[in-house]
Amino acid sequence: MERKNSLLPCNPNASKEVIAVLNYLNDMAGRGVITGQHTQTREQKELYYIEQITGKLPALCGFELLSYSPNISYDSCDEECKKEIRENEGTLETAMTFAKKYGGLITFTWHWFSPLYNKNKGFYTVNSDFDASKVLVEGSKERIAFYSDMDVIASYLKPFRDAKIPILWRPFHESEGNWFWWSAKGMKVASKLYQLMYEHYVTVHKLDNLIWVWNCPKIEGYVGDAYVDIISRDLYPPAHEHTDRAREYRELIQITPTKKLCALAEIGTIPSVKELSSSRIPWSYYMTWSNEFGGSDQFTSKEELCLAYHDSYAITLDKLPKLYECQTII
């Protein structure tokens, strides 16, 4: 099952910190799995839960950027949407603190409220009339708004670049489905949007601290090796079903003959770390989703969580080597 990455970042100008992370992930492939947990609020209740149960913290922490979307239609938001936005505010500061205090790995998820024509939770297709295919048309309103939103988010990412903090960046996630506006017109359109973002962020904004994570397990939607450092997929298995996810790994690697690092970018029920230590399926990392998935025993029992975090194969925060040196921004 060993698939060693070529270690060449897709961005030829990638920072030394990006290279260090990719080298580490490659070295550990099949020798250990990085534990990860998504948090979408500043409270980070999931981290407190994990530490209470296991006495440890994950090596990777995920953060949500939905509240930073420039085009939220607040007047149409219901109370649930407003609460989600409000609780997500300030998570970039929390991410910066996690990186500077612990030197842990960070990854960002962006439930992007569509650049135009949205209501309520406007990242969902059902709540947006935004036609992603029109972004591909030069001079269209959709294209202009798309780039405007990207520029705003780039301004939030630049302090991380300046502080020498690498980010596992996973835009346009779950592009195999049609539930988000970016893939409502198909996987190929979503992959084109990803390419536009890559080119804009690399050539215009010089965001050389980004590690580019593609998040779609379908070969027909693959964006191409030139834009990807890590291939990944999201999984939500039944509660308390813990395996090494070997079948899902074999499916994922079919999208490219190139040996790419692989990750479980979102998962509801954690994989079996014990099985992974035996099968050596080289998942680089997994990131448990938030709320009931990572902050309760509804999907993963306390016993299973404790066994996973204390397995010698699990890379928790205390086992993670120093991969980057944060710089103070003046």
Distance of CA 41 to CAs 161, 169, 325, Å? 22, 18, 26
Does a structural domain hold residue 287?
yes
Please tell me the number of Cα atoms within 13 Å of 162 on its side-chain side. Answer: 10
Q: Is residue 148 part of a domain?
A: yes
Q: Is residue 306 in a domain?
A: yes
Nearest CA to 229 out of 3, 8, 4 is that of 8
136 located within any domain: yes
Structural domain containing residue 191: 16-319
Q: pLDDT at residue 3 above 90? A: no
Q: Give domain status of residue 232, yes or no.
A: yes
Give the residue numbers marked as catalytic: 174, 266
Structure tokens at 68: 């930073």
This model's pTM is above 0.85: yes
Indicate whether 327 belongs to any domain: no
Nearest Cα residue to 259 out of 22, 39, 79? 22
The rounded distance, in Å, linking the Cα atoms of 185 and 181 is 8
Per-residue tokens: 138: 């030069």
User: Which run of H or E residues covers position 246?
Assistant: helix 246-252
pLDDT in tens, 120-172: 999 999 999 999 999 999 999 999 999 999 999 999 999 999 999 999 999 99
Q: How many domains does the chain have?
A: 1
We report the CATH number of the domain holding residue 311 as 3.20.20.80
Tracing tokens 């030197």 back to the chain, one arrives at: 103
Exposure b/e, 154-188, CB count within 10 A at least 16 = b: beebeebbebbbbbbbbbbbbbbebebbbbbbebe
Burial (CB count <10 Å: 0-12, 13-18, 19+), residue 242: buried
Question: Is residue 68 in some structural domain?
Answer: yes
Answer whether residue 3 is part of any domain: no
Interval 32-85: pLDDT, tens: 999 999 999 999 999 999 999 999 999 999 999 999 999 999 999 999 999 999
pLDDT in tens, 228-239: 999 999 999 999
